[in-house]
A = this chain, B = another copy of it.
Amino acid sequence: MPEIRQNMATKQWVIIATERARRPEEFVDPSRQPSRLTLPELDPACPFCPGNEEGPDMEVTRLPEGAAAWKVRVLKNKYPALQRHGERVRHFDGVHRAISGVGYHEVVVETPLHNVSPALMTAEDLALVLQAFQMRGIAMALDDRIEHVIYFKNHGLRAGTSLVHPHSQIIGLPVVPYDVRSRDEEARRYFDDTGECVYCAMLRDELEDRRRLVCENEDYVAFLPYAALSPFHIWILPREHHSSYLMVSPIAIFRLAQICREVLLRLYVSLNDPDYNIVLRSAPVKAWYADHLHWYVSLIPRVTQTAGFELGSGMYINTALPEESAAFLRSVTLEG
């Protein structure tokens, strides 16, 4: 019989469709070609490749800072969803509510190499990307107009990216999105009822249960949530309670890079470099020290498609058992 599971943090239900469940191997797309074999290291037509860079007025920062040979480069988005300058003004008119579209929309170019997959980058290089996230997140948080920052990565066409050069994006918003506020409220309710952060409770449960674990290190644990939205949906949670990513120490950022790299490599090897979205979920910027919120990384491989049911219900149908997906990812042999 199928099972409908609830995520205790978000309170969202997920159908674990055992009747249509597929074996983990069935999600492998054998037609995929690793981009390091099919693409050049440098593409003269790519706006992110060294040598083609847009003018310095588009650069926000680079790492190492000031270096001629950058490893990570943060740019203003050429077609930004929000406008950097201007006042945050609210408009009220009958049943209409609007707010001026001020905020940040930046691109993090993760490497000078056009054809590398993030799974194949070193932890040192990935740490620079995560460091750039934090630097820019702090800068945005210090801007009074900004209420929330979304850090995300779209890897591959199915995940919604149009540019193949490895990059991620940061959007600083002048509002707290509705869904983020809902999660805040649900977590607060759990804290009121139990005196504990719901994410800390879930993490403890996963560490005891172990069936959904993917891998772990000193500071982080990667697992499929009990109510995973889709096959191979993975959460990477810090063991230590912090509501905001902006509070994370440099050494903890490095260990985050290490575990991200291991998770990405396990997906790369076992599922043949699948497309995926990554979101780093940090508390709204004015909730840096919330007892009830816990920052984390969520990764959703795009091995299935959402459609009318998900639009209409907000629910997901997961056609794989989280316990089986986790065992599959644990079984991957990583060289070196």
Question: Which chain B residues border A86 with CB–CB below 8 Å?
Answer: 1
Secondary structure at chain A's binding surface: helix, strand, loop or mixed? mixed
The minimal Cβ–Cβ distance linking A92 to chain B, given in whole angstroms, is 10
Asked whether B15 lies within 8 Å of A81 as measured between CB atoms, the reply is yes
Assess whether A187 is interfacial by the CB under 8 Å rule.
no
Question: Which chain B residues border A98 with CB–CB below 8 Å?
Answer: 3-6
Asked whether A307 lies within 8 Å of B159 as measured between CB atoms, the reply is yes
Assess whether A174 is interfacial by the CB under 8 Å rule.
yes
Q: How far is the CA of A68 from the CA of B202 in the complex (A)?
A: 55
Question: Which chain B residues border A278 with CB–CB below 8 Å?
Answer: 308
Q: How far is the CA of A79 from the CA of B20 in the complex (A)?
A: 6
Residue of A151, A178, A182, A198 most packed against chain B (CB within 10 A): A178
Residue of A95, A102, A177, A178 most packed against chain B (CB within 10 A): A95
Question: Which chain B residues border A201 with CB–CB below 8 Å?
Answer: 95
Assess whether A226 is interfacial by the CB under 8 Å rule.
yes
Asked whether B152 lies within 8 Å of A311 as measured between CB atoms, the reply is yes
Assess whether A13 is interfacial by the CB under 8 Å rule.
yes
Assess whether A314 is interfacial by the CB under 8 Å rule.
yes
Assess whether A107 is interfacial by the CB under 8 Å rule.
no
Residue of B nearest to A160 (CB): B307
Instruction: From the candidates B6, B81, B300, B307, name the one contacting A311 in the complex (CB within 8 A).
Output: B300
Asked whether B279 lies within 8 Å of A311 as measured between CB atoms, the reply is yes
Asked whether A101 lies within 8 Å of B15 as measured between CB atoms, the reply is yes
List 17 contacting pairs A-B, 8 Å CB cutoff, sorted by A: A4-B100, A5-B96, A5-B97, A12-B177, A13-B178, A17-B81, A17-B82, A18-B101, A19-B81, A20-B80, A152-B309, A152-B311, A161-B307, A169-B308, A173-B313, A177-B313, A281-B312
